[in-house]
């Protein structure tokens, strides 16, 4: 287990070099801030220095510190993930939930730097995917990044059926919290998870994801007992997590049973949100697939 402890100061910095975003407001996304962010980034980029992912990330962080809260993974947790990319050197990576592309730019850049060649990002909201795609173009990463727009669960099934998602070395989960287990089970059922696949789940402390933690930490024997329990108990999640994306979307009822014979080695990495509040990543490695 890795613990990261930082101290917030009064000038929106964290002891050391890390900065703190503005706090989350009553309305914290989908109110025009995403489009304002893109225009901000475009206006601040140096035209003489194109295709610099680190410049994009810095400008997004600047916006989060000085303008509006943004629900990004942030530089603290982001560094944990890029360290994992450097360590495991995945060739392919799947992202569930890209929002405005902060994580997409950061992780796809790290993937490419470490020899990877394919980054697939699933995003339900077309407006957010459009902003993220623009960020990827500005960062010069369009050659390895592909966006899939639509409900994650049914999109995973469609992508696998089309032969575009047959296997992946790393998965970053940061979308609709009750869908973490549902979508992991889909990936398992479709044989996309293999020995050595690394799963990284965001927000397992804030707002929390007890069903996901229980699943990846369970033994194959324990999972066999609940093989038919595909639906997730929404009462185990905070209300704002359940209803966050509900307003305009038809329910995605795609579910598969998963593979209880997959054994994960799982650990919690303590870190912080961009606002400085405590959070953590659950890092799970597929150690074996029992037969």
In the block, tokens 């394919």 appear at 118
Burial 103-125, CB ≥16 within 10 A → b, else e: bbbbbbbbbbeeebebbbbbbbb
- Report how far residue 183's alpha carbon sits from residue 171's, in angstroms, rounded to the nearest whole number: 11
Token duo for residue 175: 């979308």
Cβ contact 194:166 at 8 Å: no
**pLDDT the model gives residue 48:** 81
Single out the residue of 160, 170, 61 nearest to residue 110, CA to CA. 170
**pLDDT the model gives residue 103:** 99
Dump pLDDT digits (tens) for 12-46.
333 446 789 999 999 999 999 999 999 999 999 98
* pLDDT for 232 beyond 80: no
Dump pLDDT digits (tens) for 207-228.
999 999 999 999 999 998 876 5
| pLDDT average, residue stretch 248-272 | 91
* pLDDT for 5 beyond 50: no
| pLDDT average, residue stretch 253-272 | 96
* pLDDT for 9 beyond 50: no
**pLDDT the model gives residue 155:** 98
- Domains, the chain, in order of start with CATH, read 72-130+139-289 (3.40.50.150)
Dump pLDDT digits (tens) for 114-142.
999 999 999 999 999 999 999 999 999 99
- Report how far residue 167's alpha carbon sits from residue 51's, in angstroms, rounded to the nearest whole number: 29
**pLDDT the model gives residue 291:** 80
- Report how far residue 212's alpha carbon sits from residue 252's, in angstroms, rounded to the nearest whole number: 18
Show Cβ contacts of residue 153 under 8 Å, excluding neighbours closer than 6 positions.
179, 182, 183, 186, 252, 254, 255
**pLDDT the model gives residue 224:** 87
Show Cβ contacts of residue 137 under 8 Å, excluding neighbours closer than 6 positions.
none
pTM: 0.89
| Burial class (CB within 10 angstroms; exposed 0-12, middle 13-18, buried 19+) of 290 | exposed
* pLDDT for 78 beyond 50: yes
| pLDDT average, residue stretch 51-70 | 96
Lowest mean pLDDT among 64-78, 95-109, 216-230: 216-230
Q: In the predicted model, what is the mean pLDDT of the chain?
A: 90
Single out the residue of 130, 136, 129 nearest to residue 53, CA to CA. 136
- Report how far residue 85's alpha carbon sits from residue 73's, in angstroms, rounded to the nearest whole number: 15
What angle do the packed helices 53-66 and 74-88 form, to 10 degrees?
160
**pLDDT the model gives residue 2:** 28
In the block, tokens 């209300």 appear at 239
In angstroms, how far is CA 139 from the centroid of its own chain? Answer: 19
| pLDDT average, residue stretch 164-173 | 99
| pLDDT average, residue stretch 182-195 | 98
Residue 225's CB: how many other CB atoms inside 10 A? 11
User: What are the two backbone dihedrals, phi and then psi, of residue 263, each rounded to the nearest 5 degrees?
Assistant: -105, 120
Q: Where are the alpha helices (DSSP H) in the chain?
A: 33-44, 53-66, 74-88, 102-113, 126-139, 152-161, 179-189, 210-217, 220-225, 239-243
Residue 84: band (very low, low, confident or very high) from pLDDT cuts 50, 70, 90: very high
């Amino acid at each position: 287990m890795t613990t990261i402890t930082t101290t917030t100061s009064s000038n929106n910095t964290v002891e050391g070099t890390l900065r703190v975003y503005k706090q989350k407001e009553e309305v914290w996304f989908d109110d025009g801030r995403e489009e304002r962010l893109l225009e901000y980034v475009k206006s601040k980029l140096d035209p003489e220095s194109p295709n610099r992912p680190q410049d994009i990330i810095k400008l997004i962080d600047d916006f989060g510190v000085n303008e509006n809260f943004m629900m990004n993974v942030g530089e603290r947790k982001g560094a944990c993930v890029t360290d994992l990319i450097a360590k495991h050197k995945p060739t392919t990576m799947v992202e569930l939930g890209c929002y405005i592309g902060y994580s997409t730019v950061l992780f796809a850049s790290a993937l490419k730097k470490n020899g990877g060649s394919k980054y697939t990002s699933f995003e339900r909201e077309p407006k957010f995917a459009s902003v993220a795609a623009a960020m990827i173009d500005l960062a010069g990463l369009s050659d390895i990044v592909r966006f899939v727009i639509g409900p994650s669960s049914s999109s995973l099934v469609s992508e696998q059926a089309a032969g575009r998602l047959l296997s992946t070395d790393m998965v970053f989960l940061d979308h609709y919290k009750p869908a973490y287990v549902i979508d992991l089970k889909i990936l398992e059922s479709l044989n996309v998870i293999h020995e050595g696949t690394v799963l990284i789940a965001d927000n397992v402390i804030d707002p929390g994801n007890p069903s996901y933690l229980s699943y990846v930490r369970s033994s194959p024997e324990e999972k066999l007992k609940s093989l038919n329990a595909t639906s997730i108990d929404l009462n185990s999640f905070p209300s704002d997590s359940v209803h966050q994306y509900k307003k305009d979307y038809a329910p995605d009822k795609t579910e598969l049973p998963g593979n209880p014979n997959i054994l994960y080695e799982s650990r919690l990495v303590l870190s912080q949100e961009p606002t400085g509040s405590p959070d953590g990543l659950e890092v799970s490695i597929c150690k074996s697939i029992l037969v």
